[in-house]
Amino acid sequence: MKARHKRFALIGGGIATLGIATALVLNAFQDNLVFFFTPAQVIAGEAPKERTFRVGGMVQTGSVQRDGLTVNFVVTDSVQTVSVLYTGILPDLFSEGKGVVAQGKLDGNGQFRAEQVLAKHDENYMPREAQHAIDQATQNAEGTRL
């Protein structure tokens, strides 16, 4: 085999190895990819039936029903609603009228069975330490201007 043929074989082998590695990485991403849908999109049938996805919106006031660790509540986007069933400990920030994102699957009855619930905090929330640092910076800036 000539040096030229060896070089082509080596380049071809490298390209094949790179292609296989790329295919494996893309397959892993596809398995772990979780999309977000609003309740209106879920009701419209845009959400996948057999795959995990996230649904988000506001917890409808008066909809939270607890039975031990099992919680049933309704998520709304002010257009449509989706009933969510979750078994586990809810986050501390979870409450009626607040934002929530639930991850799970739809069952055969159209109810969303959540595996994870994430409570969204107010967009104006700021940790005490960060607020203190901003206040200090503002005071220092005002002191240098005087």
Q: Which residues contribute to the annotated binding site for heme? A: 121, 125
Give the whole-angstrom CA distance, residue 79 versus residue 75.
11
Joined tokens for residue 72: 């049933």
Taking the C-alpha atoms of residue 15 and residue 9, their distance in angstroms, rounded to an integer, is 10
Pairing relationship of beta strands 53-59 and 36-37 according to DSSP bridges: parallel
Structure tokens, 65: 């029903």
Please check whether residue 114 is in contact with residue 100, taking contact to mean a CB–CB distance below 8 angstroms.
no
What is residue 52's three-state secondary structure? coil
Helix (H, G, I), strand (E, B) or coil at 68: coil
Report the C-alpha gap between 86 and 103 in whole angstroms. Answer: 10
User: Would you list which residues are annotated within the binding site?
Assistant: 121, 125
